[in-house]
Amino acid sequence: MKSTKKVKEILSWYESDNPGTKANLARILSAGRLGGTGKLIILPVDQGFEHGPARSFAPNPAAYDPHYHFQIAVDAGLSAYASVLGMIEAGADSFAGQIPLILKVNSSNSLSRAKEAPDQAVTATVHDALRLGCSAIGFTMYPGSDQMFEQMEELRELTAEAKSVGLAVVVWSYPRGGDLSKNGELSIDVGAYAAHMAALTGAHIIKVKLATDFIEQGEAKKVYDKYPIDLSTQAARVKHVTQACFAGRRIVVFSGGAAKSEDSVYDDARAIRDGGGNGSIIGRNTFQRSREDALAMLDKLVRIYKGQE
């Protein structure tokens, strides 16, 4: 598949990576209906780990079957499918080569109770990603957590190994724990900081949550007050976050959070698009709807990112 100009431009930002990693980034950027546009929609299914099976799949029991998610990601023409070891193993052969895969290599769950030191268990290896034909590994870190340094050191090892074997690295950067207030977890200063740290640790694709206009840190507030940084709209905040990711030299995608109304999903996507973000990573809003509704919603999201809605 020939790369578009846009894809070539994005690949040029990753100037230190080997051709193997660039090829895998190109695969993700060229897959599906948004292939070649520089925009991405990724389907992540790690909710079973995070919240348990019933809370994840009871609204749409077909989703208990791992093949269901591969199939919908393929049928909707998405850019990549991200999930944990067992889920990927259960479909990687049947769907080999049909859609780029991201192996989530660490996971938390809602039985764990650490409040100030939230963490995740590393549950898969770089070698797992290779043997399963994945294009990237995915890793969650919790900036603010008392386990953050340990997480960063796990990430360092996994990243070094992944890059050496030609895989890409996707980092979920979710502020949580330590002294962070509840509002601070979604604040724009901490969110931009979390995105920046993901870039600094060497991530190729950065996944963060959409931020509010709350500012958590006193020292940061002084700066936001002093310099003209527009935080008034979601699109403006997306723009600020992408700026924090090497002035746009890194791919940044945003997550939607809990299942919600279709309209707010579309509004989020328009804000991401208008702010210069690279796309959406959208899980529960996909698989907790019926297949028909999910396909319709994903179709509309594709068209939004194409500028058609």
Q: Per rule CB under 8 A, is residue 183 in the interface with a second copy?
A: no
Q: Name which of 219 and 263 has its Cβ closer to a second copy.
A: 219
Using CB under 8 A, which of the segments 13-21, 33-41, 264-272, 274-282 binds a second copy?
Answer: 13-21
With CB under 8 A, what is the number of residues at the site for a second copy? 89
Site for a second copy in 141-180 (CB under 8 A): 143-144, 146, 148-150, 152-153, 155-156, 160, 164, 175, 178-180
- Point out the catalytic residue in the list 39, 104, 163, 207: 207
CB of 97 to a second copy, least distance (A): 14
For 140-179, b/e burial (b = at least 16 CB within 10 A) is bbbbbbbbbeebbebbeebbebbbeebbbbbbbbbbbbbe
Query: Which is closer to a second copy, CB of 52 or CB of 77?
Result: 52
List 25, 137, 210, 244, residue binding a second copy (CB under 8 A): 244
Q: Which of 187, 86, 198 minimizes the C-alpha distance to 148?
A: 198
Residues 125-144 that bind a second copy (CB under 8 A): 125, 127-128, 131-132, 143-144
Residues 272-301 close enough to bind a second copy by CB under 8 A: none
Binding residue for a second copy, selected from 4, 98, 123, 212, defined by CB under 8 A:
123
Q: If DSSP codes are grouped into helix, strand and coil, which group holds residue 119?
A: coil
* Tokens 């199939």, located at residue: 71
Which helix H or strand E contains 45, and what residues bound it? Answer: strand 40-45
The answer to the question of residue 112 lying near a second copy (CB under 8 A) is: yes
CA angle 135, 112, 258 (to 5 degrees): 60
Contact 251, 40 (CB under 8 A): yes
Residue with tokens 């389907």: 43
The least CB distance from residue 41 to a second copy, in Å, is 23
Contact flag: residue 19 with a second copy (CB under 8 A): no
Using alpha carbons only, what angle is made at residue 55 by residues 180 and 188, rounded to the nearest 5 degrees? 25
Q: 64 an active-site residue?
A: no
Q: Is 305 annotated as catalytic?
A: no
Which member of 81, 174, 193, 305 is catalytic? Answer: 174
List Cβ neighbours of 216 (8 Å cut-off, separation of 6 or more). Answer: 180, 181, 183, 184, 187, 189, 190
Of 253, 234, 249, 243, nearest to 305 by C-alpha is 253
Interface residues for a second copy in 45-104 (CB under 8 A)?
Answer: 48-49, 51-55, 58-59, 61, 64-66, 84-94
CA 12 to chain centre: 21
Site map for a second copy, 186-225, x if CB under 8 A? Answer: ---xx-xx--xx-xxxxx-------------x-xx--xx-
Distances (CA, A) of 204 to 3, 24, 213: 18, 11, 26
Minimum Å gap between C-beta 197 and a second copy is 6
Catalytic residue numbers, as ranges? 174, 207
